């Protein structure tokens, strides 16, 4: 067999293989389109026969998509103020955890837990000296108190600077930073 005959035979074999592959691809495409057509007709039949189930399924898919687009893999919980590991004798500053207002004050009380019952609607509560301390005032921790199942929820602080220097009072631990 000559080289020309071998080349012609190889080309014919390749053409036969390509034709067979084209037929196979065409059959697969037809089968897929038939299945897609069957699925589409089944969906449209469901819409006509039982619209509640049809629209409920669409609603479920929409909710699922919203959940996935909103980052469903990880809950995003806002982080607020947290109680630091305070130590007796250490120096800190007062910072109101519940306010973004720099002019906000931190309330000091005579007894731990009195903050829970705190109501400053009385004028005397607002005008009594050394009860409302400005944020940023340096303090040192004198004592720690557990409350309501939380370790070191209240802190007895000694004011280190300002008009109330040397005075002490109880504050929430989250207000001592």
N residues, the chain: 177
Which tens digit of pLDDT belongs to each residue from 133-172? 888 889 999 988 888 788 888 889 999 988 889 999 888 8
3-state class (DSSP) for residue 140 = strand
Residues 18-27 have a mean pLDDT of 71
- Higher per-residue pLDDT: 32 or 22: 22
The top-scoring range by mean pLDDT among 7-11, 67-71, 122-126, 172-176 is 172-176
How many domains is the chain built from? 2
Residues 91-115 have a mean pLDDT of 81
pLDDT above 70 covers a percentage of the chain that reads 74
CA distances from 12 to 4, 68, 71, 123, 149 (A): 12, 53, 56, 105, 86
Confidence of residue 81 (pLDDT cuts 50, 70, 90): low
Domain identity same for 64 and 98: no
Any domain includes 83: no
Residues sharing a CB contact under 8 Å with residue 68, sequence separation 6 or more, in sequence order? none
Cα–Cα–Cα angle for 77, 79, 85, rounded to 5 degrees: 135
Domain containing 51 equals 3-69
Domain identity same for 37 and 96: no
Record the pTM.
0.50
Q: What six digits make up the tokens of 166?
A: 């040397």
The CA distance from 120 to 132, in Å, is: 11
Position 149 scores a pLDDT of 80
Any domain includes 85: no
Q: What is the average pLDDT value for the chain, to the nearest integer?
A: 78
Q: Which of 32-36, 74-78, 139-143 has the least mean pLDDT?
A: 74-78
The CA distance from 124 to 104, in Å, is: 18
Domain identity same for 20 and 52: yes
Position 18 scores a pLDDT of 74
Strand locations in the chain (E): 91-93, 105-107, 132-134, 138-147, 150-159, 168-172
């Amino acid at each position: 067999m000559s080289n020309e005959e071998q080349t012609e035979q190889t080309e014919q074999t390749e053409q036969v293989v390509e034709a067979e592959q084209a037929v196979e691809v065409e059959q697969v495409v037809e089968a897929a389109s038939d299945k897609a057509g069957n699925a589409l007709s089944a969906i449209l039949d469901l819409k006509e026969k039982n619209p509640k189930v049809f629209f409920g399924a669409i609603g479920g898919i929409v909710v699922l998509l919203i959940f996935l687009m909103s980052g469903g893999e990880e809950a995003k919980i806002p982080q607020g103020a947290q109680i630091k590991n305070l130590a007796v004798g250490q120096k800190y500053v007062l910072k109101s955890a519940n306010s973004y207002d720099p002019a906000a004050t931190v309330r000091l009380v005579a007894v731990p837990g009195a903050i829970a019952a705190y109501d400053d609607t009385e004028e005397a509560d607002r005008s009594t000296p050394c009860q409302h301390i400005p944020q940023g005032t340096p303090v040192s921790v004198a004592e720690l108190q557990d409350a309501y199942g939380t370790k070191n929820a209240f802190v007895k602080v000694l004011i280190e600077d300002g008009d109330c220097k040397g005075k002490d009072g109880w504050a929430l631990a989250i207000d001592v930073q």
